[in-house]
Amino acid sequence: MSELDDDRRYLVVLNDEEQYSVWPTERDVPAGWRAEGFEGTRQECLDHVSLVWTDMRPLSLRRAMETARD
C-alpha cells in the first residue's frame, strides 16, 4: 500500500522524552508512548507533529542544558 492509498486513521503519540510519532489507531499504543490527543489521516498527523514539535531535542537534554545555564 502506498502512502497515497493509506486511508487508515492514526494517532499522534508522545513518549516521556517528548518525542512524537504517528501510530495506527487499530494497534495498541506501544509501551512508553501515550496518545497526545490528535487523530487523523497519516498526513494530517504528520502536519500536526510539524506544528507542535518545534524543539527536536529530547526532554532530558533540554533539562540538562537549562541546568547548565543556571
CA distance 31 to 46: 21
Q: For 31, which DSSP code?
A: T
> Does residue 52 or residue 70 have the better pLDDT?
52
pLDDT digit string, tens, across residues 46-55:
999 999 998 8
CA distance 31 to 23: 12
pTM, to two decimals: 0.78
> Does residue 64 or residue 42 have the better pLDDT?
42
pLDDT digit string, tens, across residues 12-25:
999 999 999 999 99
**Sign for the pseudo-dihedral over CA of 16, 55, 58, 40:** positive
3-69 classified as CATH 3.40.50.300: no
Specify the residue for cell string 518545534.
54
Looking at residue 65, what is its pLDDT? Answer: 83
Is residue 32 within 8 A of residue 14, CB to CB? The reply is no
Please give the average per-residue pLDDT across 62-70, as a whole number. 80
